[in-house]
Amino acid sequence: MMADPGRVESVERALSLLDAFSDGDDRLSLAQLTHKTGLYRSTILRLAGSLQHTGYLHRDGEGFFRLGPTLWRLGSLYQRSFKLADYVRPALADLAQITGETSAFYIREGDERIVLYRHHADRLMRHHLEEGAALPLDRGAGGRILRAYTGGTTTTDAEVRSTGFYISDGERDPETAAVAAPVFTIDGSFVGALGIIGSRIRLNGDHLTWVKDVLLKKAAELSQSLGSTSH
């Protein structure tokens, strides 16, 4: 056992063998697995034996390792049971509680952005969003993120991708400010924009910077929970 009682070192080492294929390699040699994981060859062979027995790894006649059929079966089960809302709604609730502002998750549909999920702030004076509402794609923090990560080719799109967030100050509504960041899933695929929206009276200066940092942290956590390893 490791120092953390909630973690088992041998399990994490075995999983690191599977993670070694995350770059898209169809098969890996023992030497490549050693390089990618940093584990000794003897350790890899011992762990691989158990993974082969349970179908998580397969070793072909040339000695190369491939991912096994058990992962395909589990992946199919995951796809059937996966519900994006189960991951996004708790993140939105956390953001609203921490920042005191309305939080939302947007996706792109054609030339519009859709409020897929939202969580209203627990205050009388708040920005109100309805789930399913269609908003412009060419202005507002959420719209800027969606454009930038779905093929945007402008200088602004490039800047958004470089910084990893966008802050809007009265772009869509002269009384509101917003900040948004991208959310990724497996293989670094873009899935949507996570945003915080509130009054420009509150969202400005150092407070806005703090809110942006909170959002970026939550977006990274949400991406990780959805399977992203590169963001």
pLDDT in tens, 49-89: 999 999 999 999 899 999 988 888 877 666 665 688 899 99
| CATH code, domain carrying 19 | 1.10.10.10
Say yes or no: 135 and 22 in one domain: no
User: What local confidence, expressed as pLDDT, does residue 1 receive?
Assistant: 41
**pLDDT tens string 16-54:** 999 888 777 788 999 999 999 999 999 999 999 999 999
Does 107 lie in the same domain as 71? no
Q: What is the pLDDT confidence band of residue 107, given thresholds at 50, 70 and 90?
A: very high
Domain count across the chain: 2
The enclosing domain of 208 has a CATH number of: 3.30.450.40
Residues 97 and 173 both lie in one domain: yes
Cα separation, 20 vs 10, whole angstroms = 16
Domain-embedded: residue 4: no
- pLDDT at residue 138, rounded to an integer: 87
What three-state secondary structure class fits 194?
Answer: strand
Domain termination residue (choose one: 80, 107, 132): 80
Q: Look at residues 80, 102, 127 and tell me which one is the last residue of a structural domain.
A: 80
Based on the fold, state whether residues 114 and 221 are members of the same structural domain. yes
67: in domain: yes
User: In angstroms, rounded to a whole number, what is the distance separating the alpha carbons of residues 181 and 12?
Assistant: 30
Residue at which a domain ends, from 57, 80, 103: 80
Condensed to tens digits (0 to 9), the pLDDT of residues 187-210 reads: 788 999 999 999 888 889 999 999
pLDDT given at position 230: 60
Domain for residue 22, yes or no?
yes
Residue 2, domain member (yes or no) = no
Residues 94 and 76 in one domain: no
Strands annotated E in the chain = 57-59, 65-67, 102-109, 112-119, 134-136, 166-169, 176-184, 190-199
Is 197 within 8 Å of 189 (Cβ atoms)?
Answer: no
Domain housing 132: 84-225
Q: Tell me, yes or no, whether 1 lies in a domain.
A: no
Category of 28 on φ-ψ map: left (φ > 0), alpha (ψ -120 to 50) or beta: beta
Q: Are residues 135 and 198 in the same domain?
A: yes
What's the mean per-residue pLDDT of the chain? 88
Helix pair 205-225, 84-99: axis angle to 10 deg:
160
Rounded Cα–Cα distance for residues 200 and 197 (Å): 9
CA dihedral (6, 11, 15, 17) positive or negative? positive
Q: Provide the pLDDT for residue 50.
A: 92
